Amino acid sequence: LKERKFSFVKRTSMGKTLKVELTVNILEDKITEIIISGDFFAYPSEALEELELKIRGKTVEEALKIVDGYEGRMKLIGASLQDIKQLIRQVKSTGT
Amino acid sequence: VRLRVILFETPYDAYFNLALEEAIYYVAGKKGCREPILRIWRNANAAVIGYFQRAEEEVDLEYAQEIGAAIVRRFTGGGAVYHDLGNVNYAVIVSRRTPNPLTEIYGSLLKGTLYALKKLGASPKIENVNDIIVNSRKVSGTAATFKNNILFLHGCLLVSSDLNILRSLLKTPKKKLENNKASSVKYRVTLLEDALGRRLDFSEIVDVLVRGYEELLQLKAYYDLPSKLELQVAKILYEGKYRRNEWNLERFPSSKFAEVYRRIDELITES
């Protein structure tokens, strides 16, 4: 099996739920799918979808940089880019 | 300039109610919004989920089907809510040039609802940015968005909803329960009727909301219906988006709706 699915969830410091679901191609070490969901707010809302699209096909390290690139471009309320990065990083600690 | 109050609802078609919600905001964004708008409306039986949520995680889909509850995604973020006729929804739309739209929305606009609740004799407070609390329990959840100098805030007021259905229909993510002593929102909600210890009918809620926002905006209210354009846009959104599983149940299908917005923009340009 070359793909593995991960699902990480946290309750943010602002009391919201943030969930990041990832599908990782283990052979190529690439994220093939990412879904970020929860009861937070993102402005503009389209930016989150765009972020997900950009992460597809990238490694975890590349994905973290992409998330950093949204500083100042997407405002999150109830969650933060750090929260998203923390959950993406868990792919590494969980081990592929 | 007066406060335009829209009392138009389709309680038995939650999809249209939510389509109209976006339509009024969208038309305001394209055509401008000379007069602030306050819309008050109800759904009879629906689970309404936030833009970024996954339906299957928030709603017991089997139970929803069993009781015939509609599952509708709204175009704003935040959490899932249950709507029955004991829940009153309100939306506020104003045109305002501001560097901090969210501060303006939650710090200023939301006060209209506080004024309304005070008129009922409650002592409401804002908590967690966007929740309204009475007697340390949540009675109103709100969500907001903004674009083109148009600020949009909507929320629901738990007046006399069936909390047993709410608890069966909405799932609580385990994390919420484990990590928070206050636990999830729905475990600390209360009905306005219980908080005040008396019956409240819809007209009384409408009355205080209208007066609350009149006071906040310092405007006289008048009652209006959605315009022909707003209804036409709502119909396109309803058919192409809000009635569809691709929007309500799947996540992030926004690219699928490009055609819907192209048609809407065409219609608005022609009008």
DSSP-assigned letters across all residues of chain A: --EEEEEEEEE-TTS-EEEEEEEEETTTTEEEEEEEEES-EEESTHHHHHHHHHHTTB-HHHHHHHHHTTTTTSEEESS-HHHHHHHHHHHHHH--
Is B180–A15 a contact, with Cβ atoms under 8 angstroms apart? yes
Which residues of A fall within a CB distance of 8 Å from B54? 19, 35, 37
What average pLDDT does the segment A2-29 reach? 93
Is B180–A44 a contact, with Cβ atoms under 8 angstroms apart? no
pTM of the model: 0.93
Is A17–B252 a contact, with Cβ atoms under 8 angstroms apart? no
**Which residues touch B5 (CB under 8 Å, ≥6 apart)?**
B37, B38, B39, B40, B210, B221, B222, B223, B224
Q: How large is the ipTM? A: 0.93
Task: Say which DSSP state B244 is in.
Answer: -
pLDDT of B173: 55
Which segments in chain B show pLDDT lower than 70?
Answer: 173-187, 252-253
3-state secondary structure of B94: strand
The pLDDT tens digits of the residues spanning B162-190 come to 999 999 999 975 544 454 444 344 458 99
Interface test with B, best of A41, A46, A51 (most B CBs within 10 A): A41
The pLDDT tens digits of the residues spanning B133-144 come to 999 999 999 999
Split at pLDDT 50, 70, 90, the class of A95 is: low
